[in-house]
Amino acid sequence: MMWETDKPLRGYNTFGIAAKAAYFLPVVDLAGLEYAMREQPAPFFILGGGSNVLFTGDLPAAVLANRIQGIEVLHENEDEVKIAVGAGMRWHDLVTWSVERGYGGLENLSLIPGQVGAAPIQNIGAYGVEVSSAIEAVDAYDLDQGEVLRFPASVCEFGYRTSIFKTTYRNKLFILRVYFRLLRRPVLHMDYGAIREELNKMGVATPDVRGISQAVIRIRQSKLPDPLLIGNAGSFFKNPTVSQDVYDAFLHRHPGIPGFPAEDGRMKIPAAWFIDHLGWKGYRMGDAGVHDRHALVLVNYGDATGQDILQLATAIQGSVYEAFGIRLEPEVNIIG
């Protein structure tokens, strides 16, 4: 077990950005993490699947790559199953495991890239479901105190694409495992996006978690580029939320603008609508571009740098603010 130096990170981020880490160590268990604490050569940076980061330069850091695996069933009865999952496990592998067994709670989150440990940090969500609805607790190693802490869901401060791990404890914790409560009697969520329409295309009259998962996969594959083929990090910006009055004013000026109820009586407007409305979809600036099938996805067509992607994102933000008075906030973590 040794630190690697000057480690290329192009294969460790889904944007395919050619950055380097000063030091790099895969962590497969607590013993590996304790070694890193003893032999720390530089400030830590924690890297999961690299699916939600944009490197804008080399990292003068000691990168800890989370590779902790495993699914353990802790408790089950006729209503639910409680499991503990290694934070370095691929997210979609967990979804597949649960769907194959008919357990409900994660099926709407199918095919989201990244690892299990990133799920609570970002409070990942899709098609009307957020992962916080299935999380019971999170175990994490405090890098300052050198001890394992447990965070019940009630103290995680889950919000739209955020949590206490992204704010108060940003880059201070190494997530070890996540505890989930899955349902043997699933409650299906089919009213967000085109899930019902896709189920009809599939000829599924009586959907279950398998059908929902397959519908979500088909929808995502039809709209989103495969990071193995075109570098990207999925949705680059968060969907903005506005007051009902502001949304009504938008609706008056732009009949048909989509909106979905959010917390506190506010409305969530798809960021893609603003970007698409201003003609950015399919735009290309060298090897940095906006995907031609989904305006919310910025892509690296080959050799774009992180600065190239950031420059494009900043131009889009300025354009949307000038036209609509809306400040788009990145969902992707910009590092550098």
Q: Active-site positions? A: 161, 235, 331
Domain count, the chain: 3
> What is the per-residue pLDDT for 255?
93
Give a yes or no: residue 191 inside a domain.
Answer: no
Domain hosting residue 251, numbered range: 231-335
For the stretch 102-153, pLDDT in tens is 999 999 999 999 999 999 999 999 998 999 999 999 999 999 999 999 999 9
- Tokens 């000691």 locate to 62
Q: What is the CATH number of the domain that holds 31?
A: 3.30.43.10
Q: Which residue type is seen at 212?
A: I
Positive or negative: CA dihedral 13, 15, 20, 22: negative
Rounded CA separation 195/283 (Å)? 28
Residues 76, 173, single domain; the answer is yes
Q: What is the CATH number of the domain that holds 120?
A: 3.30.465.10
The domain boundary, picked from 51, 66, 81, lies at: 66
Residues 103, 173, single domain; the answer is yes
Residues 80, 179, single domain; the answer is yes
Residues 53, 120, single domain; the answer is no
- pTM tops 0.85: yes
Rounded CA separation 121/117 (Å)? 7
For the stretch 4-58, pLDDT in tens is 999 999 999 999 999 999 999 999 999 999 999 999 999 999 999 999 999 999 9
Give a yes or no: residue 192 inside a domain.
Answer: no
Give a yes or no: residue 323 inside a domain.
Answer: yes
Residues 42, 101, single domain; the answer is no
Q: What is the CATH number of the domain that holds 268?
A: 3.90.78.10
